[in-house]
Amino acid sequence: MKRIGVYAVLLGWSVWIGFPLYWLATAAWRQGVLRAFTPGSLATLALGNSVVVAVGSACLGLLLGAMAGYGLARFDYRFGLLSNERIRLGFLGQRMFPVAVLAVPYLLLFRTVNLLDTPTGILIGEVGFGTPFLAWLVCDAFRALPRDVEESAMLDGCSRLGVLRHVVVPLGAPALAAAFTLIFIMAWNDYFLALVITFSQSVTLPLYIQAHPMPAVIVVSVVPPVLVGLAGQRALQRGLSFGLAGQRRA
């Protein structure tokens, strides 16, 4: 009887969550996705901007964050009172600042360098927010990697950059995939930063949906992060557990 009750609760909860999604999908089907995303429409422009910002910020943030995380994992830095652990805590502490605190400085900066209302401006902002968190995340994963493998590669003539490319990145792929997934989803769903520094030409899907809540556009906006999340689910779990293992070793 207890198991039947659990199944009943799970079934009821699934229906409660699934019915709005079902209603949204059927409404989008009746409306027609192709009619919403006609060439040259604002919805198509918003979709393209979101793809550029999310993919670009995830790739660039992954590149910069991976190098910073590897540097913190393998080298000891001293800048006055700053040490590796304090730098890592500073990276993590950056996530405690809400976007609203830094949005106005971004607005003033991008106005000075003519990056307002451009996808490049949003991309730079997302990279600035995502890279420190990504470096903190992958640092623990790189610490968990055995140094012997890297030392053996360097004894065979491989440079430090070659070790990073041919040894560290393949071994740390789960953590890197997990970090890419997180940064992509955060950049895709970001609303406030885009609201502050964009006006018309670089509108993203969250901004477009706020002004035009069309079911077809909402469904399309949900698909990319869901697909990326499903593709990186196993990598996300392995990457986070790998990072925790490195933290325990440290």
Chain segment 214-247, per-residue pLDDT in tens: 888 888 888 888 888 887 776 666 555 544 444 4
pLDDT band of residue 46 (cuts 50, 70, 90) is very high
- Does residue 250 register a pLDDT over 50? no
> How far is Cα 206 from Cα 203, in angstroms, rounded to an integer?
8
Rounded to whole angstroms, the Cα distance separating 127 from 61 reads 5
Q: In this predicted model, what pLDDT tens digit does every residue of 88-107 receive, in sequence order?
A: 888 877 777 777 788 888 88
Q: Express each pLDDT in 118-171 by its tens digit.
A: 888 999 989 988 888 888 888 888 888 888 888 888 888 888 888 888 888 888
Output the pLDDT for position 11: 85
Report the pLDDT value the prediction gives residue 244, as an integer from 0 to 100: 46
Tell me the Cα Rg of the chain.
22
pLDDT value at position 184?
93
The one-letter amino acid code at 136 reads W
Mind listing the pLDDT tens digit for each residue in 21-41?
777 778 777 766 667 788 888
Tell me which fold the domain 38-249 belongs to.
MetI-like fold (1.10.3720)
pTM above 0.85, yes or no: no
Q: What is the pLDDT of residues 63-82, one digit of tens each?
A: 999 888 888 888 888 777 77
* Number of neighbours of residue 184 by Cβ within 10 angstroms: 25
Query: From residue 146, how far is each of 45, 73, 83 by CA, in Å?
Result: 46, 12, 22
Helix (H) or strand (E) holding 46: helix 42-74
Q: Is the pLDDT of residue 187 over 50?
A: yes
Residue at 241: amino acid letter: S
Which tokens is 58 given? 């995830």
Structural domain boundaries in the chain: 1-31, 38-249
